[in-house]
Amino acid sequence: MNTDIKDIDGYIATFPEAVQLKLQAIREAIGKAAPDAEEAIKYAMPTFVLNGNLVHFAGYKKHIGFYPAPAGIVAFDAELAGYKCSKGAIQFPLDRPIPLVLVQKIVKFRAAQNLGKEMFKKEKAPSKKQTKE
């Protein structure tokens, strides 16, 4: 794990050219699906943030890991049937095309979740102290 990497460009530059192209394609797909999200490096991985962590992705020797939180995997279970998945991760093999349309669907779903959480916080019920007045 390289802790000297400060941004996504630096992260992507550490991979072979063919992998860089796939990582950049995922980055662009995420950016198009959630244009208000901010880029960051968290847990030594490229991360998009929108009212909290939106998604992470990372390059590996034989796959690209995509981390949309468990709800992002459960919601697209049928479409992810051809990929190795765990509770919070999806593996896109490097020897296959990255399903960028699916990535965008998942990101839009996660953005709606995160924005919904923010709306819920703003619309939260008044405290007991406020209701007594």
Mean residue pLDDT of the chain comes to: 90
Q: How confident is the model at residue 73 (pLDDT cuts 50, 70, 90)?
A: very high
Distance CA 129, CA 31 (A): 42
Closest CA to 100 of 41, 21, 45, 38: 21
Q: Where are the domains of the chain?
A: 8-112
pLDDT in tens, 3-47: 688 899 999 999 999 999 999 999 999 999 999 999 999 999 999
**Closest to 89 (Cα-Cα) out of 114, 112, 106, 113:** 106
Q: What is the pLDDT of residue 118?
A: 61
* Res. 132 pLDDT band, cuts 50 70 90: very low
Comparing C-alpha atoms, which of 51, 55, 58 is closest to residue 76? 55
Residue 81 CA to residue 90 CA, distance in Å, equals 10
Q: Is the CB of residue 70 less than 8 Å from the CB of residue 88? A: yes
Output the pTM of the full model: 0.86
The CA dihedral of 13, 7, 48, 21, to the nearest 10 degrees, is: -10
Tell me the CATH number of domain 8-112, given options 3.40.50.2300, 3.40.50.1950, 3.90.1150.200, 1.10.40.50: 3.90.1150.200
Location of structure tokens 């992260």: 11
Instruction: Give, for 45, the enclosing helix (H) or strand (E).
Output: strand 45-49
Q: How confident is the model at residue 126 (pLDDT cuts 50, 70, 90)?
A: low
